[in-house]
Structure 1
Amino acid sequence: MTAQEPVPMTAAEVAALPAVVDLMTAARALRIGRTSAYALARNGDFPCPVLRAGTGWRVPTAGLLRVLGLEPPTT
């Protein structure tokens, strides 16, 4: 059995994300697999800032947008 790869996100989908997303949504935007994403987050090597929230991980979208070379929206 082979692992199913996550479907990449379009720039429009990334731009429409809320202020904070879960680790797997950020990984999908960056085209990183599940196992690698969690390993990178645990080791402090995820490409953008991550926050530990209880037993899960959250990623501020502004940092994700910067890594992807997209401008965060201004208010």
Structure 2
Amino acid sequence: MRTPLTLAEIEQLPAAVDLITAARAFNLGRTLAYTLAREGRFPVPVHRHGRTYRVHTVDILRALHPDQPATPHHPAPATR
């Protein structure tokens, strides 16, 4: 298993990442990540595009640090 991602590393990720990168943020292995995604139980929403799973980085940041404001790299969504 790879080393989990740090908060600083997560903040530098692009807007969306593959499932394995997202899993590293939660310290999950590949097999468990795919199982959770398939069952709809991954810690954050997973978006399926064909045979590929993608995860929004801002969702990872919110899940890991819900009390923190969004970073400049990942601004908070607009409110209505």
Offset from partner CA, 1:15-52 (integer Å, 9 cap, x none): 11110000000000110010000000000000001000
Q: TM-score, normalised by structure 1?
A: 0.87
Identity %: 51
CA contact (8 A) 1:65 1:71 kept: no
- Please list every run of 5 or more consecutive structure 1 residues that lacks an aligned counterpart in the other structure: none
- Unpaired runs of 5+ residues, structure 2, are none
2:61 aligned partner? 65
Residue 34 of structure 2: SS of its match in structure 1? helix
| 2:70 partner amino acid | P
Q: Kindly report the root-mean-square deviation, in angstroms, between the aligned alpha carbons of the 2 structures.
A: 1.3
* Map of 1:56 onto structure 2: 52
- Misfit runs of 4+, over 6 Å: none
